[in-house]
Amino acid sequence: MSLDMLTIPAQCVAESRIAELDYNNIEFGKIFADHMLVADYKDSAWQIPQILPYGNMSLSPATSAIHYGQSIFEGMKAYKDANGDILLFRPLDNFRRLNKSAERMCMPAITEDIFMQGLEQLLRLDAAWVPPTPGCALYIRPFMFATDEFIGVRPSSNYRFAVFTCPVGAYYGQALKVAIEPHYVRSAEGGAGFAKAAGNYGAALLPAKAMQERGYHQLIWTDAREHKYIEESGTMNLMFVLDGKLITPPVSTTILAGITRDSVLQLAQGLGYTVEERKVSVDELVEAYKAGMLQEAFGTGTAATIAQIATIHYDGLDMDLPAVEGREISNRISTELDKIKTGEAPDLYNWVHRISL
Ligand SMILES: *Cc1c(COP(=O)(O)O)cnc(C)c1O
């Protein structure tokens, strides 16, 4: 099905709820824009999508996604530039990754038309919800789940793809205290850690809560086999600056291929830094720390772009890193990336998808 030149049928709200939004005090993930996109998959094909008022969906108690977790999602952001155009950051990469997750979870691929044109029309309709305020953005949540009303364990025949959005405030997070996880595992080789599949996140809640009770914001996952190599942290990939080089674990079946990760690596290379994608062992980090060579550590992801790490705990040792202000590489890349996303810097890598209103 091609939606070229086709307008997605929209049922618009009688009155916008935008007046409820206080741009200066946006609570994450609690206020949703007026509309959502919904497309259903049945009889082996995606049906014509629809734009509807944001609202509840009615589901059978036997909806298979609820029981067996055929459910995937994406996370991305839209910004407003100085002209009021809406800028999406690398949306085709989110589209491709959603389909990688779909393939792993035995779900049908969504079409580029439905994803991109659906997004474009939804954002045009809810353009007023993209905050013009610096640092703020409209968070976009595409997702897909199995809708068969059937409780046998088998791939569903019916699915729903939907997209809703919510304005988010500036991320003024403090630098994080994280601890290396010696026991629990997020993902093993051959598993589904590379997919944004719902169950991965549910299974991570208990270990994360246990670490929080010990005084850390987040944990760092290690490999399932030996707990020896660094994987990632929460919903962020991890990067370190060791002796002036930017180092990050390679993506694999266990590590999610972050779009922020890829952008940071490309920018760093473009700026002339040495970049290494290779395994990073816990021992290497501890040794570098003891030698005074662990200069920077940070997480990368859509939520924070770059989240600085202040302290890494491992086996009784709190490794306190140099002050955030002095971190050359991550601060420089963070500023550069934010400027590209909001249209303040030239888009040399062709990452920005512009929607002119
Ligand atoms: C989403 C996610 C990331 C970051 O991906 P981005 O595309 O940069 O937002 C990293 N790790 C996990 C486990 C994730 O779910």
Task: Evaluate whether 46 touches 111 at the Cβ level (below 8 Å).
Answer: yes
State which H helix or E strand residue 352 sits in.
strand 352-355
Ligand 1 centre distance from Cα of residue 162 (Å): 19
Strand partners, 53: 35
Lowest average pLDDT, out of 2-16, 178-192, 226-240, 265-279, goes to 2-16
Residues 199 and 332 both lie in one domain = yes
Report if residue 2 sits inside a domain.
Answer: no
Residue whose CA lies nearest to ligand 1 atom number 14: 235
Of 152, 168, 184, the one marking the end of a domain is 168
Other CB atoms within 10 A of residue 210 CB: 15
Residues 151 and 204 both lie in one domain = no
Report if residue 347 sits inside a domain.
Answer: no
Ligand 1 centre distance from Cα of residue 301 (Å): 5
Where do we find the tokens 């569903």?
156
Report if residue 354 sits inside a domain.
Answer: no
Residues 125 and 259 both lie in one domain = no
Secondary structure (3-state) at 319: strand
- The count of structural domains within the chain is 2
Report if residue 268 sits inside a domain.
Answer: yes
DSSP string, 170-209: ---PPPEEEEE-SS--S--TTSSTTS-BHHHHHTTHHHHH
Q: Which CATH number covers residue 280?
A: 3.20.10.10
State which H helix or E strand residue 96 sits in.
helix 91-104
Q: What is the mean pLDDT of residues 48-71?
A: 98
Q: Is residue 4 predicted with pLDDT exceeding 60?
A: no
Residues 210 and 101 both lie in one domain = no
Residues 61 and 111 both lie in one domain = yes
Q: What is the mean pLDDT of residues 254-281?
A: 98
Tell me if 299 CB under 6 Å of ligand 1. no
- 224-243 pLDDT per residue, tens: 999 999 999 989 999 999 99
Report if residue 12 sits inside a domain.
Answer: no
Task: Evaluate whether 337 touches 306 at the Cβ level (below 8 Å).
Answer: yes
Q: How far apart are the first and last CA of the chain?
A: 26
Residues 139 and 57 both lie in one domain = yes
Q: Is residue 2 predicted with pLDDT exceeding 60?
A: no
Task: Evaluate whether 319 touches 294 at the Cβ level (below 8 Å).
Answer: yes
Average pLDDT for the chain: 95
Report if residue 100 sits inside a domain.
Answer: yes
Among residues 115, 131, 100, the alpha carbon closest in space to that of 24 is found at 131
Task: Evaluate whether 166 touches 29 at the Cβ level (below 8 Å).
Answer: yes
Where do we find the tokens 């691929």?
109
Tell me if 260 CB under 6 Å of ligand 1. yes
Residues 190 and 125 both lie in one domain = no
Per the structure, the complete domain to which residue 86 belongs is given by 18-168
Tell me if 249 CB under 6 Å of ligand 1. no
Report if residue 3 sits inside a domain.
Answer: no
Tokens of 314: 């491992």
Residues 221 and 337 both lie in one domain = yes
Residues 6+ apart with CB under 8 A from 80: 86, 87, 130, 131, 132, 342
Strand partners, 160: 40, 145
Band (5; pLDDT cuts 50, 70, 90): low
Q: Is residue 1 predicted with pLDDT exceeding 50?
A: no
Residues 207 and 81 both lie in one domain = no
Instruction: Please identify, by atom number, the ligand 1 atom nearest to the C-alpha of residue 302.
Output: 9
Tokens of 318: 């709190």
| Residue 176 to residue 18: CA distance in whole angstroms | 33
Residues 69 and 99 both lie in one domain = yes
Residues 6+ apart with CB under 8 A from 354: 85, 86, 87, 88, 343
Tokens of 177: 């205290």
Of 118, 151, 168, the one marking the end of a domain is 168
Residues 225 and 294 both lie in one domain = yes
Task: Evaluate whether 24 touches 135 at the Cβ level (below 8 Å).
Answer: no
Report if residue 355 sits inside a domain.
Answer: no
Q: Is residue 282 predicted with pLDDT exceeding 90?
A: yes
Q: What's the pLDDT at 170?
A: 76
Residues 156 and 235 both lie in one domain = no
The answer for 43, left when phi > 0, alpha when psi is -120 to 50, beta otherwise, is left
Tell me if 258 CB under 6 Å of ligand 1. yes
- 312-349 pLDDT per residue, tens: 999 999 999 999 999 999 999 999 999 999 999 999 99
Where do we find the tokens 């080089």?
245
Band (6; pLDDT cuts 50, 70, 90): low
Q: Is residue 172 predicted with pLDDT exceeding 50?
A: yes
State which H helix or E strand residue 260 sits in.
helix 259-270
Q: What is the mean pLDDT of residues 122-151?
A: 95
Q: Which CATH number covers residue 124?
A: 3.30.470.10
